[in-house]
A and B are shown apart, each in its own frame.
Chain A
């Protein structure tokens, strides 16, 4: 509609209007090409990131990061699936990494943390909005073989043909049946702050 008005004005006014029309057309094209007005299907990544910090009384760099997070977003329904391979978390200290995998998360038995849910406030029109948008994830989070209902806030940004989603959540260690040996129970954090980030591209790219 705006383009039509611009066209009409451009045809009826003088040469300077032609210039204005040209620039407005260029601006409109540039804006819509970075958003996802025509997008459909699924967007996904296999190289999202997740990192957590779990400092207890021992302030000892209990933090780790992985860059092989899979995330899929269905644009029609707003459904989201995320899979985080536990063994892929890299710590600064080898012993910490070993304890995390073998004693706490038991990654040989439960290799993935899995979220299945949806963006509660999802609307397809969100794909046409620029800038950071607040979203709310609701669904089921499975860690260490235990599934809990969760509701977490996050952000979404559409830019350059990609959808960037982030969320920050607090995981209570006890909620997911993670056993901490009595000897160190008072020294190890009872919760972990987790940050997940994914740049989703059209599925198949």
Chain B
């Protein structure tokens, strides 16, 4: 009798718990990369050269991976209040375009040494540049 009673209490609780978990998982927003460890840490110039010299091999290594690069800011620009871009390294022969996840403070200035963590979304052979998305600028001391 007691077993049957606990069954009728336990089963709905279990189902409710599973339902809540499923609902939570389905509606979860994409996580910030703030606490994600990068799979590769390298100089921006190095990343650019690797993609330009061997895009296929570099795609295998870096595409869709969280990577962290350090280098020099070429320029930063915004589209409205919510879309921000930072361009890194490259002297007229391609560069790395990083779209920031959000604006965490003032955008860097041209010539600033910066460090950026984001998802490498590919090498654009139209421009000879590398694309990174959902980027966050990380403090230099982390490098």
Q: Report A's interface with B, CB cutoff 8 A.
A: 44, 46-47, 66-68, 70, 72, 81, 83, 85-88, 90-95, 97, 101, 107-108, 111-112
B26 and A95: CB pair below 8 A?
yes
Closest to A93 in B: B27
Pick the contact of A108 from B63, B77, B127 — CB < 8 Å? B63
B64 and A94: CB pair below 8 A?
no
| A111 cross-chain contacts in B, Cβ below 8 A | 59, 63-64, 121-122
Nearest CB of B to A117, in Å:
14
| A101 cross-chain contacts in B, Cβ below 8 A | 64
Pick the contact of A46 from B26, B29, B97 — CB < 8 Å? B97
Chain B, 98-116, contact with A by CB distance < 8 Å: what is the 0/1 string?
0100000000000000000
A67 and B99: CB pair below 8 A?
yes
| A88 cross-chain contacts in B, Cβ below 8 A | 99, 121, 131, 133
| B83 cross-chain contacts in A, Cβ below 8 A | 47, 67
Closest to B28 in A: A94
| A112 cross-chain contacts in B, Cβ below 8 A | 122, 124
A87 and B133: CB pair below 8 A?
yes
A85 to B122, CA, bound (A): 7
| B97 cross-chain contacts in A, Cβ below 8 A | 46-47, 68
Q: Report B's interface with A, CB cutoff 8 A.
A: 25-31, 59, 63-64, 77, 79, 83, 85, 97, 99, 119, 121-122, 124, 126-127, 129, 131, 133-134
A70 to B126, CA, bound (A): 8
B29 and A68: CB pair below 8 A?
no
Taking A90-B134, A93-B29, A108-B63 as given, write out 17 further A-B residue pairs in contact, using a Cβ cutoff of 8 Å, ordered by the A residue number. A44-B127, A47-B83, A47-B85, A47-B97, A67-B79, A67-B83, A67-B99, A68-B121, A70-B126, A72-B126, A83-B124, A85-B124, A88-B99, A88-B133, A90-B30, A90-B133, A95-B26
A46 to B90, CA, bound (A): 15
Closest to B129 in A: A46
A70 to B94, CA, bound (A): 13
Nearest CB of B to A68, in Å:
5
Pick the contact of B126 from A83, A90, A107 — CB < 8 Å? A83
A90 to B102, CA, bound (A): 13
| A47 cross-chain contacts in B, Cβ below 8 A | 77, 79, 83, 85, 97, 99
Nearest CB of B to A113, in Å:
11
Closest to A90 in B: B30
| B29 cross-chain contacts in A, Cβ below 8 A | 92-94
Nearest CB of B to A88, in Å:
4
Q: A93-B26, A111-B121 given as contacts; is B99 within 8 A of A68 (CB)?
A: yes
A92 to B31, CA, bound (A): 10
A93 and B79: CB pair below 8 A?
no
